[in-house]
Amino acid sequence: MCARESFLATPANQICCPSGRVGDVCRNQTADQPCRTNDALCASDVCVAGVCLAAKQPQLAVCESDTDCSNGVCAKANLTATGPQICCPDGTPKLDLSDQVNDVCRNQTVGQPCGLRNSLCASGVCVAGACLASKQLQLAPCESDVSMAFAVGRVILLLPILFAVPMVLPKWLMLTFSATLTTFVATSC
């Protein structure tokens, strides 16, 4: 197969490609050779920023696709990161954000932005748009548990009634309140 030895060669200077070609350029380009955005041109199968690299990228290095990383995971460093993507730390799976331009590395540390996505945080807890170290204490404000919000609403609505006229309430209403409070206290965010 005849093709240009590299992108730098003129179309008139073609050679017989020992390992095949991609388009009009020979495969197995060495490190530092131009590759535009085509991993298949590089001997390492890694083309980042238009240049072939010697090997797959380590954690936290700049990448353009999963195939560029030794751990196979390339994404935005965090939810608000601008600039290039990185090879995610520890090969953590990324979160596919179909509503975003790029995916995001998971296992975000305390304080990192998470929107309202618990799955971005290493702790699994995202409150007020930031990752927390652990689940919230009981009765603390939370955002992610829909049943908690419903239970809180029921407790708040019943508390004034219970303290004002506890003896007047029917037994079934007291049991409902008791079950709701138990559910509320037993569930943490």
Cβ within 8 Å of residue 159, ≥6 positions away: none
The string of pLDDT tens digits covering residues 118-136 is 888 989 888 888 999 887 6
pTM of the model: 0.62
**pLDDT tens sequence across 21-65:** 998 899 999 999 999 888 999 999 999 989 999 999 999 999 988
User: CA angle 101-103-107, nearest 5°?
Assistant: 145
Give residue 15's domain range. Answer: 1-45
Distance from the first to the final alpha carbon of the chain: 62
Number of folded domains that form the chain: 2
Amino acid letter, residue 121:
C
Residue 111 falls inside a structural domain: no
Q: 86 in a domain, yes or no?
A: no
Domain membership of residue 182 (yes or no) is yes
- Beta carbons of 181 and 158 less than 8 angstroms apart: no
Q: How far apart are CA 157 and CA 174, in angstroms?
A: 13
